[in-house]
Amino acid sequence: MSSKVAFSLEIDFQASPQLLFQYLSTPSGLSEWFADNVNSRGEDFTFIWDDGEEYAMLLQKKTNEKVRFRWMNDEEDQDDYHFEFKIVVDEITKDVSLIVSDFADEDELEEAKMLWENLIGSLKQVLGAT
């Protein structure tokens, strides 16, 4: 089994950290841009798309700053990998950035980055932050 490589994307946002956080941390917010539908029971999230559903566990949540999930699949090394949304506000300019961190197989790295860029583009449209 090949190990996955970590990657991050940083995207500037014209939105408040509070508003952005709602779209990253709640089922209703995530349903607007990340999946067709999202349900949760406590820390257990179900992400639903046309072709199936995936399960993730909420590992960490810091209000208006960070959300970290881990996909719950049958891979034996699943505990080693997560995806995270981190909101960063520049202290001087007050500019808001979103840092998305994830893992991908090395031969799928570019596709994974493009997928996230498309998803974040959808999030920006929903927020009117393009």
Residues 32/35/38/44 CA torsion (nearest 10 deg): -130
Q: 94: exposed, middle or buried (C-beta count within 10 Å: 0-12, 13-18, 19+)?
A: exposed
How many whole angstroms separate alpha carbon 30 and alpha carbon 22? 8
In this structure, are residues 127 and 17 in contact, taking their beta carbons and an 8 Å threshold? no
Dump pLDDT digits (tens) for 27-86: 999 999 999 999 999 999 999 999 899 999 999 999 999 999 999 876 666 667 899 999
pTM of the model: 0.90
Q: What are phi and psi of 16, to 5 degrees?
A: -75, 150
CATH number of 4-127: 3.30.530.20
In this structure, are residues 90 and 23 in contact, taking their beta carbons and an 8 Å threshold? no
Considering the chain, what is the average pLDDT of its residues? 92
Q: By C-alpha distance, which of 125, 111, 92, 102 is closest to 13?
A: 125
Given this model, what pLDDT does residue 2 score? 60
How many whole angstroms separate alpha carbon 38 and alpha carbon 5? 27
Q: By C-alpha distance, which of 102, 18, 15 is closest to 63?
A: 18
Dump pLDDT digits (tens) for 2-21: 678 999 999 999 999 999 99
